[in-house]
Amino acid sequence: MLLTTHSAVGQSSDSPVPLKQLSLEELSQVQVTATRKEPTTAFRTPAAINVITTDAIRRSGASTFPELLRMIPGLEVAQMDSSKWAIGSRGFQGRLSRSMLVLIDGRSVYSPLFRGTYWEAQDTLLEDIDRIEVIRGPGGTIWGSNAVNGVINIVTKSSRQTHGMLVSAGGGNVNQGFLNWRYGGGNEVFSYRVYGKGSTYGPQNTPKGPDYDDWRMGQIGFRTDWKPNTRDSITIQGDSYGNEAGQELAINSYAAPYRTVVDANGFFSGQNIMAAWQRALKSGSDLQFRAYYDRTDRQDLNYREVRNTFDLDFIEHTPMGRHELSWGGGVRISPAEYFQTVQTVDFLPHLDNYKIVSGFVQDDISLIPNKVVLTVGSKFEWNSYSGFNYQPSARIAWTPNDKHTIWGAVTRAIRTPSRIEQGFQFTALLQRTNPPRFVRLVGDGGFTNEQLIGYEMGYRNSNKLGFVSLALFNNRYSDLLSVEGRPEVTETSPGPVHTVLPLLLRNGIQASSSGGEITNLVDLRPGWRVRSSYSLLLLDAKRQAGSIDASTVGQLEGDTPAHKVVLQSFFDLPKRFEFDVAFRYISSIPNQKVPQYATADVRIGRTLGHGLELSLVGKNLFQPSHVEYGGIPNGLVGIKRSAFLKLTWSR
Amino acid sequence: MPRIRTLGRIGIALLILGLFARGQSVRSIRQGTEAEIKAAFLINFAKFVEWPSETSPGNDFTICVAGADPFGQALDRAVENEAIENKPVKVRYVPRWQNDCRILFVGASDLDNSQFLAGVPPGVLTVGEQPSFLLDGGMIALVMEDQRVRFEVNLRAANRSSVHISSKLLDVARRVQK
């Protein structure tokens, strides 16, 4: 019996008896040193996937989604100011993450206005998150358009798992104060929870001009899970939130002074409600219907949009011998109204109704049972901006035994146009001449889908020390967004007289990106886990025939760091102390004039008994402040060294 | 000299990590990974359970793992040289219940437990990982409590399925639903 030597790490050396020979009483007393769920859940998946577990969320000390994503290899995460983030997956980093889809319990939070995710508006009680799945690489076959470079799935716990009361509160120099609470209850048939949270954040370090970026947010929500019988389960959930965030923006006008930098608050709020019905059929297949309504009201300093999204979709899984067939379909209607608040920013028409109809089919074929699985499928989608598209993929995973998985995939994915490319005019001052010269970005519907063919492969190894994962990719993009200059024209209306240099949004760029990520997780000894990762990204862009774009190639190549190193240590100290360190190194972002930096977060936690836990979290500790991204008119905002104390009580 | 500063900081980080390599605490408490402990529980349960005699197909005693697999290789290792009902124990990873499963283990996943439990015939011991597993009609749920693995039993579900669970097992359970 080799069990004790096999698991030299998992077990202390002074106990020669294998665990399985202990009695039930003794087993009930064995202390758990490491929860191994994270690697094994994703072990056989033929995609570059990372899962952030409940425990990793708690021990990260993070208070927002983007902070949680910092630890994921292959994602570029940069904080722009207190409330704003620029996130990318394998490149294409930007304020709104245009090539990445984010879903909260299946509800898409991708905004079809400026194409992307307003990260600061997305939140929930972090303690109630079951897991966050991060998939780098194209995911269009299942999730549809705009999942070009990645998908982030935030999944909350069932209310059956959150019975009881939880309150956490604290504060510090940047996270100035926060209060989170949840109450849940129920029985075998029906469970529920309600929660609320509020936070206030102080400004970061603005080198030129006043500190503008303080941020306050509040959110409430609920979830109910009802199981009338063994076959059906019905979930209803909803959230409502409001935010007020300081912004700094350049406002342009045709009359003098032509351009002014304004500091003021932006307001955004939203409400959503979702119902999901899951049924296990007698045939062995299962069926799920989901419907949601999502309203967002966003009022930035230069526009306001109110959007109402209605979505209905279903999915069925059917096992048939060696095949596991999935298929589904959906309809989304998203009417929105635009309110012009600044002369030089406009969307036309002001009333717009975006529609998507989609279907997908996918088959998981066990070529050799338990060893080789081939997954083929395609999404078929129609949308009211660019019409019909299809997004097929083929993936294969070979798991010779439980120690190794080798996988590969070829995928086609699409980014569809948003309102910004359909009917948009944004005019900015170019030169204070007489008459003044302006440049105008014009989305006139001449832009169509961006395309990707992605080639991926990966290897995972699970060994007695832990877990190693390697993922490599080569992404070939075509018809990427470009800005094509047109001859300068003189405008007399609206006055006064000025000239405009139009830049039309077109599909004139192609690019190829290559790179990979390697992740290593080691349980060095009982109670000490270390996770490390390195990510590499090389992107090469060029103009397609006919394009005269002068700026996009440099932006695509220079907007994303090439190297990222993350090192995390989770350490259980005696007397119920926990000591956690997260170190990160990010190489320079030339186009944003951001130099390379390295910094670290530290968390010290202790359970006090009676359901109390106290933690002290320090963030960005290596320097008083450092810059991570540009995008603000008055220069780069420094992200401060910060700390906060947090007390959590649960019963 | 930004590069040298950065290297210095990486060095500091490594130093912080390194300090703990030496500072390991002395503990007399028995420890194991979650996977190893759960695998050991699963093998142990079999000693306290009687299956109805008419349901014993095959030459092996098969433990099936459905849902997300929490074990890695821990279960495969634990069943080496083990016998239940005088049959060698075999582990299979399955999408859902299959004919020869005598124990069905349902790993916690995003799918509802009841999807795995639907269609399981009498005479199969079902073991899950979430407290809600019992609400869904499962028999034994492994639950985490204070950094330890404990278990709860739904006796009604076991009786309904003609799986007899010994009172010795019930004595150790954290909670028994009758």
pTM attached to this predicted model: 0.80
Average predicted confidence (pLDDT) for chain A: 90
In the predicted structure, residue A80 carries a pLDDT above the cut 60: yes
A39: confidence class by pLDDT, cuts 50, 70, 90:
very low
Task: Please report where in the chains the tokens 């990982």 appear, as a residue.
Answer: B129
Q: What is the pLDDT of residues A222-233, one digit of tens each?
A: 999 998 887 888
Q: What is the pLDDT of residues A153-181, one digit of tens each?
A: 999 988 988 888 999 999 999 999 999 99
Q: Do B31 and A37 touch (CB under 8 A)?
A: no
Share of chain A above pLDDT 70, in %: 96
Q: Which two tokens stand for residue A304?
A: 């306001």
In the predicted structure, residue A438 carries a pLDDT above the cut 80: yes
Instruction: Give the A:B interface size as CB pairs under 8 Å.
Output: 206
pLDDT of residue A431: 93
Q: Nearest C-alpha of chain B: how many angstroms from A269?
A: 29
Sign of CA dihedral A22, A23, A26, A28: positive
pLDDT of residue A305: 97
Compute the distance between CA of residue A47 and CA of residue A43 in angstroms, rounded to an integer: 10
Q: Do A36 and B32 touch (CB under 8 A)?
A: no
A2: confidence class by pLDDT, cuts 50, 70, 90:
very low
Task: Please report where in the chains the tokens 């999942």 appear, as a residue.
Answer: A147
In the predicted structure, residue B25 carries a pLDDT above the cut 50: no
Lowest-confidence segment of A275-279, A399-403, A404-408 by average pLDDT: A399-403
pLDDT of residue A280: 81
In the predicted structure, residue A196 carries a pLDDT above the cut 70: yes
Q: Do B44 and A27 touch (CB under 8 A)?
A: yes
- Are A502 and A485 in contact, with CB atoms under 8 Å apart? yes
In the predicted structure, residue A544 carries a pLDDT above the cut 90: yes
pLDDT mean over A451-466: 90
pLDDT of residue B6: 61
A112: confidence class by pLDDT, cuts 50, 70, 90:
very high
Q: What is the pLDDT of residues B74-103, one digit of tens each?
A: 888 888 888 888 888 888 888 777 778 889
Q: Nearest C-alpha of chain B: how many angstroms from A454?
A: 27
B56: confidence class by pLDDT, cuts 50, 70, 90:
low
Sign of CA dihedral A57, A58, A60, A63: positive
- Are A522 and A33 in contact, with CB atoms under 8 Å apart? no
pLDDT mean over A44-72: 90
pLDDT mean over A523-529: 81
Residue A618 in contact with partner chain B when CB distance is under 8 A:
no
pLDDT of residue A517: 97
Q: Do B25 and A599 touch (CB under 8 A)?
A: no
pLDDT of residue B26: 36
Q: Do A27 and B70 touch (CB under 8 A)?
A: no
Compute the distance between CA of residue A623 and CA of residue A264 in angstroms, rounded to an integer: 28
What backbone torsions phi and psi does residue A350 show, to the nearest 5 degrees?
Answer: -65, -35
- Distant-in-sequence, close-in-space partners of A171: CB < 8 Å, separation ≥ 6: A177, A178, A644, A645
Alpha-carbon distances of B57 from B94, B134, B135, B163, rounded to whole Å: 17, 27, 29, 16
Best residue in B10, B112, B144, B148 to probe A by mutation, most A CBs within 10 Å? Answer: B112
**3-state secondary structure (DSSP) of residue A606:** strand
In the predicted structure, residue A651 carries a pLDDT above the cut 90: no
Alpha-carbon distances of A595 from A588, A590, A627, rounded to whole Å: 4, 7, 8
pLDDT of residue A203: 94
A526: confidence class by pLDDT, cuts 50, 70, 90:
confident
pLDDT mean over A239-255: 95
pLDDT of residue B87: 87
Best residue in B1, B9, B84 to probe A by mutation, most A CBs within 10 Å? Answer: B9
B55: confidence class by pLDDT, cuts 50, 70, 90:
low
Least CB-CB distance to B36: which of A10, A37, A370? A10
Neighbours of A575 (CB within 10 A): 7
Best residue in B19, B33, B161 to probe A by mutation, most A CBs within 10 Å? Answer: B33
Give the type of residue at A372.
V
pLDDT of residue B110: 62
Compute the distance between CA of residue A486 and CA of residue A502 in angstroms, rounded to an integer: 5
Paired with A526 in beta bridges are none
Least CB-CB distance to A585: which of B10, B31, B147? B10
Identify the residue with better confidence: A393 or A286. Answer: A393
